[in-house]
């Protein structure tokens, strides 16, 4: 059958195919519409959809011209073609409203069994993974399309997932995310959601909320990983498990002496609208224990023992309270607490990105020598397709940052790369053990 559709819906279908999403729209009973590459007529505004009663045939991607392995090997022709695909996709994305994606995801998840049978049929776990569950906090505020892709890549049945949605996000986004979450027993939306304000204590509280709920779950998880919506895994779940086992109960938190003392020398408060942090003239007293302050990333690899310390230690709680009226406390809290952690895994050495010690993230800052082929946003590289080769070679667990609305092809290539490793490689052979063994947080040596 043929259905006349608006131009934007045709473009939406094409984009979703590029991203590898099976687009499912409920018809009657258990019949579903699958968008297929071969049934898209590019010469008019007609989109042919086929109703099927089986869910085994995943739609073929619209990216036949995207040669990810060629890009990985630095093939110029492959890179040039990829650049053209990205430009076309980006132009098309500009014609699509976020609410359109939200509606599409709502339709995709109306039948949870069909949704999971199609998109999560490959979520097989090895024995070593099943015995080592991981707790995730996925902190998101926009693009349900990118969230769904990220979640699909990190999902494993033995893990547990806390989804923290910024209350600043529109209701349609919340509803779309909830429609995905309701299809899984090991995924939940965090309680006590807040309006997250840049560089404020709300970032810390989002982690604390997920930590509390994850600790109270019945899953005996070993590590806590906090991830934002504009990140993407560089390692398979099995590889991540091997990396975490090598940490042997230690955390991997970036931590080095804090030089931005202005962040806690005076007090900060929210503006009258409650949507931005502003400085005040009121001097702030030092933390009563006279701890040295350390700085680092808000995101890391948290051993469960460290999470228990954060949640239950009296001094840790008092320190977090002291940070309430400081600037960017998320870049102070974990990096300082790991230095005063009274349990196993206390950090006594410097761990920092510019010394290639930040295990959890592959990130390019504006001051770094590595070239960014995408663009910088707030001095952080948002990767482009030409960064794929570099990312694939990195020993880190996640890439920060990736934005589907800037470059959708890089997510597609990372998907191929992860599938290739998951199907055909052994982490014991492929992981960079020299890097892991020599990390100061592992070896204890600077």
Q: Which of 243, 259, 344 is nearest to 300 (CA)?
A: 243
**Spatial CB neighbours of 393, under 8 Å, sequence gap ≥ 6:** none
Domain 133-446 part of CATH 3.40.1130: no
The model carries a pTM of 0.88
List for the chain the helix, strand, coil content (%; round to 5): 40, 15, 40
CA distance linking residue 291 with residue 306, whole number of Å: 18
Three-class SS state of 280 = strand
Q: Which residue shows structure tokens 């997510």?
A: 411
Q: What is the predicted pLDDT for the residue at 408?
A: 85
Q: How far is the CA of 265 from the CAs of 97, 274, 281, in angstroms?
A: 43, 22, 10
Q: Which of 193, 131, 132 is nearest to 162 (CA)?
A: 193
Alpha-carbon dihedral 354, 238, 338, 293, rounded to 10 degrees: 30
The DSSP code for 169 is S
Q: What is the predicted pLDDT for the residue at 12?
A: 53
| ∠ Cα 73 89 171 (to 5°) | 120
Q: How many CA atoms lie within 13 A of 75 on its CB side?
A: 12
Q: How far is the CA of 154 from the CAs of 133, 134, 148, 162, 214, in angstroms?
A: 12, 10, 10, 12, 16
Three-class SS state of 412 = helix
Task: Give one DSSP letter per residue of 372-399, joined into a string.
Answer: PSSEEETTEEE--GGGHHHHHT---SEE
CA distance linking residue 441 with residue 144, whole number of Å: 35
**Spatial CB neighbours of 120, under 8 Å, sequence gap ≥ 6:** 152, 155
- Count Cβ atoms below 10 Å from residue 377 Cβ, excluding itself: 12
Three-class SS state of 194 = coil
pLDDT per position as a tens digit, 157-177:
999 999 999 999 999 999 999
- Long-range contacts from 429-438, C-beta under 8 angstroms, 24+ separation: 430/239, 431/239, 431/242, 431/243, 431/395, 432/395, 433/246, 435/356, 435/395, 436/243, 436/246, 436/359, 436/395, 437/246
β partners of residue 269: 278
Q: What is the predicted pLDDT for the residue at 64?
A: 54
- Per-residue pLDDT tens digits of the chain, which is 446 residues long: 333 344 555 555 555 555 555 444 443 333 334 433 333 333 333 333 332 222 223 223 345 588 999 999 989 999 999 988 888 877 777 677 888 889 889 988 999 999 998 888 777 789 999 999 999 999 999 999 899 999 999 999 999 999 999 999 999 999 999 999 999 999 999 999 999 999 999 999 999 999 999 999 999 999 999 999 999 999 999 999 999 999 999 999 999 999 999 999 999 999 999 999 999 999 999 999 999 999 999 999 999 999 999 999 999 999 999 999 999 999 999 999 999 987 778 899 999 999 999 999 999 999 999 999 999 999 999 999 999 999 999 999 999 999 988 898 999 999 999 999 999 889 988 899 999 999 999 988 87
CA distance linking residue 94 with residue 405, whole number of Å: 8
Q: What is the predicted pLDDT for the residue at 19?
A: 54
Distance of CA 261 to the CA centre of its chain: 30
Q: What is the predicted pLDDT for the residue at 8?
A: 53
Q: Where are the domains of the chain?
A: 2-103, 133-446
H or E, element range at 237: helix 237-247
Q: Which of 11, 49, 13 is nearest to 31 (CA)?
A: 49
Q: What is the predicted pLDDT for the residue at 17?
A: 54
Q: What is the predicted pLDDT for the residue at 96?
A: 76
């Amino acid at each position: 059958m043929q259905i006349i559709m608006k131009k934007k819906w045709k473009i939406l279908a094409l984009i979703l195919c590029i991203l590898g999403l099976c687009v499912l729209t409920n018809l009657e009973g258990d019949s579903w519409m699958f968008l297929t590459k071969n049934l898209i007529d590019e010469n008019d505004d007609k989109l042919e959809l086929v109703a099927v009663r089986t869910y085994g045939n995943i739609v073929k991607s619209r990216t036949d011209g995207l040669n990810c392995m060629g890009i990985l090997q630095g093939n110029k022709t492959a890179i040039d073609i990829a650049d053209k695909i990205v430009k076309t996709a980006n132009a098309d994305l500009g014609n699509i409203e976020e609410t359109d994606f939200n509606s599409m995801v709502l339709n995709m998840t109306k039948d949870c069994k069909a949704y999971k049978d199609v998109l999560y049929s490959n979520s097989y776990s090895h024995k070593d993974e099943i015995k080592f569950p991981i707790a995730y906090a996925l902190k998101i505020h926009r693009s349900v399309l990118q969230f769904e892709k990220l979640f699909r890549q990190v999902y494993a049945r033995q893990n547990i997932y806390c989804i923290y949605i910024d209350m600043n996000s529109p209701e349609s986004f919340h509803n779309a995310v909830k429609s995905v979450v309701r299809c899984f027993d090991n995924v939940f939306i965090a309680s006590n959601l807040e309006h997250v304000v840049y560089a404020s204590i709300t970032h810390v509280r989002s982690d604390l909320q997920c930590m509390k709920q994850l600790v109270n779950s019945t899953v005996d998880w070993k590590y806590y990983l906090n991830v934002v919506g504009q990140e993407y895994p560089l390692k398979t779940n099995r590889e991540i498990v091997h990396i975490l086992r090598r940490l042997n109960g230690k955390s991997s938190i970036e931590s080095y002496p804090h030089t931005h003392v202005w962040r806690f020398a005076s007090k900060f408060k929210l503006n009258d609208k409650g949507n931005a942090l502003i400085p005040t003239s009121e001097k702030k007293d030092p933390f009563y224990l006279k701890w040295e302050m350390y700085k680092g990333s808000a995101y890391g690899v948290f051993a469960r023992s460290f999470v228990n310390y954060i949640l239950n230690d009296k001094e840790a709680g008092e320190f977090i309270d002291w940070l309430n009226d400081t600037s960017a406390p998320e870049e102070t809290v974990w990096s300082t607490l790991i230095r005063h952690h009274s349990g196993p895994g206390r950090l006594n050495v410097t761990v920092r990105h510019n010394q290639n010690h930040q295990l959890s993230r592959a990130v390019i800052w504006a001051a770094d020598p590595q070239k960014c082929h995408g663009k910088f946003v707030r001095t952080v590289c948002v990767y482009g397709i030409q960064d794929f080769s570099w990312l694939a070679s990195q020993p880190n667990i996640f890439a920060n940052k990736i934005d589907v609305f800037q470059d959708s092809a890089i997510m597609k290539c990372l998907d191929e790369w992860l599938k290739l490793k998951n199907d055909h490689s052994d982490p014991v052979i492929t992981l960079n053990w020299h890097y892991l063994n020599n990390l100061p947080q592992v070896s204890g040596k600077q």
